[in-house]
Structures are given as C-alpha cells and as structure tokens.
C-alpha cells in the first residue's frame, strides 16, 4: 500500500522532446528547476494525484536479455545511488523517451524527471524516481491592464489537473527490477510508454495474485456455476469467495475450496477449469500466497451482485452479509404459470 501524503519533491529536471518521426527536436535543460514552496506544492499535486486515484497495479522493469540492459533501470540505479546525478541522468531518460517517439501519433511534450523522498510504501519510508510527460495543451486567457483598457491574450499551457503520462519507480526490490507504478490517460499509445520506454512486466506480488485469483473465480462462476446451477448460486459463490479472502491473511487453495464450494461436485470442475484457464491469469501453478486486503476491497467493488430477470426486475444480493441471500431468498417453480419465481422474506422496508 502506498501513502503519498508526506512525499517531498527534492529535485526536478525538465526537458522538452518532439516526435522523432516528424523530425522534431529535443531541448535538454542544463540545470534543475528552481522551486519555491508554492510551485513544489502545485507540482506535487500534479504529479502524484493520479496515483492516489488509481488502483495499485505494480510493474517491474525488465529486459528480454538482461535487466541491466533496461535503460530506465540503469538510470534509476544511478540516481538512487547518487541523487546529485539527477540532472545528467535525466537527459539520458529524455533522450531515451525521444528515441521511442517515432510513431506519427505520438505527441511532443515536456518531460519531468523528479526525485522524491518520504514516500511510504508498505509501511516503510522509501525514495522514488518519477518520470512524467505532459502532452495535451489547453488554451487559457491572460489579462493585462493598460492605461485605458484591459487587454486579453490567448495562450496555451498545461492543465495541472490532468497528467498525461507518468511513472513512479520505488527504491525497493532492486534486483527484481524495482517496484513501479504507471498512469497513462492517453491509452492509444500505451505500448509506447509501458513497453518501449519503461520496458516493464507485471510484478507478481500478493496484490497481483489476489486480484488475478478473484478474477479467475469470477469467470469460473460465470462459465461453470451459472450453467450448472443458477444466477443466485453464481452470486453466492462469489459472495463466499470474496468473504473468504477478506477474513484470511493467506490463501491456501484446498482450504478455500472446502469452505467456499458448497456443491462438492464442482471441485473437480474448478480444478479442470484452472488447468485450462489458469495461464490466462498467471495462476496455473499458484495455490498459496499472502492476501492483499486492499486488492480484496477493490475487487469487491467490481463484483456484480445483481440478478437480472427477463420480467425487468432486479434482485440485489448483499455481499457483506451472504447469509441474508441464503436465508431470506428462495427460488421456486410455479406450475400454473410455468415460470420460476423468487420468494423474498423481510420484516420491513428500509430507506436508502
């Protein structure tokens, strides 16, 4: 889990790169940016706000031959070893990004390379390297008082409420390629940022495995439980699965199946489905891992606990209290109408 509240900007290097395919050039600053308290506060919000609002899906820097060949990994190592090298190393980072900017759709923009301190990651204070790119310019009005009138002029600039691209490289797990977060508001060129520039792979940690396994369970419920039983049992299976994750610190597959799978006939189906679909979620060989509580909460929010009926009626089942769905909702068949029905028990209606 990341906490950026007390993070501090130590140094900022700023450069401008164009589109290499269009023969646009590069402007590399020779000195770091002078900052005051106001500009530090504004830039900190500009750089870090997207990471507070985004799910924590971590990556690691990598390279098909050897990690040492990853240019961003080399840069991060140099800066973490000696933060005084930020300005010179930032030029290499900007040049590397320019070299990847050879697709006609890639926009020119400013590149910020930032050294942060006092970042809290997994309850430990760490330093971080940030690389950010601003691409989209917005028009705004500027006003100037003259002797007899107020003049206006139209200018262009960067909206501090929207970061186009950015990454945070945390000084942990160095030998594995560091721990990396990335944001990209312009998805049309995601390969350019994640693959070509950063060169990252997904970091298979407890956060990754928790989300992947729950997503796998969700698809098992849709593909196997729903056809074998009904929509109510599909929802209840996911209900039990999420609650199992929520109340345990570590996952063990046998225990999970014994507790969550009420129909034992579905256990062999689950194991077969894992052999078939597990590689898609990178869990084919995974049966134990620590559980990331925040990942459980994020996954819970995405779970659909609604039964949609063809009579335009919806029944919402409560994930927090799974026993409610089992005790107070019954499914049956009406011979006279030749239709299924749900019977719902309650004491009184409650206000939203």
Provide, rounded to the nearest whole percent, the portion of the chain with pLDDT above 90.
Answer: 59
d(Cα 117, Cα 178) in Å, to the nearest integer?
Answer: 16
Checking if the pLDDT of 98 tops 90, the result is yes
Pairing state between β 165-170 and 124-134: antiparallel
Q: Which pLDDT tens digit goes with each residue over 243-302?
A: 899 999 999 999 999 999 988 889 999 999 999 999 999 999 999 999 998 888 888 777
Beta strands in 37-148 (DSSP E): 59-61, 109-121, 124-134, 137-145
Question: Residue 171's closest CA among 61, 62, 87?
Answer: 61
The pLDDT of residue 79 is 97
CA distances from 57 to 4, 18, 51, 187 (A): 16, 29, 10, 16
Q: How many helices (H) and strands (E) does the chain have?
A: 11, 17
Distances (CA, A) of 201 to 3, 61, 197: 23, 6, 12
pLDDT at 324 over 80: no
Of all residues in the chain, the percent with pLDDT exceeding 70 is 96
Over 60: is that where the pLDDT of 129 sits?
yes
Please say if the pLDDT value at position 74 is more than 90: yes
Contact (Cβ atoms closer than 8 angstroms) between residue 13 and residue 35:
no
What's the helix, strand, coil split of the chain in %, to 5?
A: 40, 30, 30
- String of DSSP letters for 276-321: HHHHHHT-TT--EEE--HHHHHHHHHH---EEE-TTS-EEEPPSS-
Confidence of residue 318 (pLDDT cuts 50, 70, 90): low
**Which value, to the nearest 10 degrees, does the dihedral of the CA atoms of residues 22, 27, 33, 39 take?**
-30
- The reported pLDDT for the residue numbered 311 is 85
């Amino acid at each position: 889990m990341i906490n950026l509240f007390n993070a501090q900007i130590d140094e900022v290097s700023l450069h401008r790169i164009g589109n290499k395919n269009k023969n646009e050039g590069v402007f590399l600053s020779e000195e770091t940016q002078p900052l005051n308290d106001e500009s530090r506060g504004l830039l900190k919000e500009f750089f870090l706000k997207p990471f507070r609002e985004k799910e924590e899906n971590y990556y690691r820097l990598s390279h098909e031959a050897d990690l040492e060949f990853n240019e961003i990994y080399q840069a991060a190592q140099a800066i973490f070893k000696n933060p005084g090298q930020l300005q010179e190393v930032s030029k290499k980072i900007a040049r590397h990004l320019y070299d990847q900017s050879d697709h006609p759709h890639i926009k020119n923009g400013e590149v910020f390379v930032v050294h942060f301190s006092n970042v809290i990651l997994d309850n430990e204070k760490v330093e971080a390297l940030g690389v950010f790119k601003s691409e989209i310019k917005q028009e705004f009005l500027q006003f100037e008082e003259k002797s007899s009138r107020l003049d206006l002029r139209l200018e262009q600039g960067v909206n501090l409420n929207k970061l186009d691209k950015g990454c945070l490289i945390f000084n942990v797990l160095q030998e594995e390629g560091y721990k990396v977060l990335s944001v990209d508001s312009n998805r049309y060129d995601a390969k350019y940022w994640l693959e070509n520039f950063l060169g990252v792979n997904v970091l298979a940690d407890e956060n990754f495995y928790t989300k992947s396994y729950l997503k796998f369970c969700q698809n098992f419920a849709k593909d196997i439980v729903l056809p074998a039983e009904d929509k109510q049992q599909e929802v209840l299976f996911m209900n039990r699965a999420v609650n199992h994750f929520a109340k345990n610190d570590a996952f063990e597959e046998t225990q999970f199946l014994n507790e969550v799978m009420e129909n034992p006939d579905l256990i062999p189906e689950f194991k077969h489905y894992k052999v078939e679909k597990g590689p898609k979620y990178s869990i084919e060989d995974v049966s134990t891992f620590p559980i990331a509580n925040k990942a459980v909460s994020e996954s819970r929010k995405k779970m659909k606990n609604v039964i949609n009926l063809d009579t335009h009626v919806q029944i919402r089942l409560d994930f927090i209290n799974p026993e409610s769905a089992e005790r107070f909702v019954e499914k049956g068949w009406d011979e006279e109408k030749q239709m299924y029905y749900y019977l719902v028990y309650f004491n009184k209606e409650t206000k939203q």
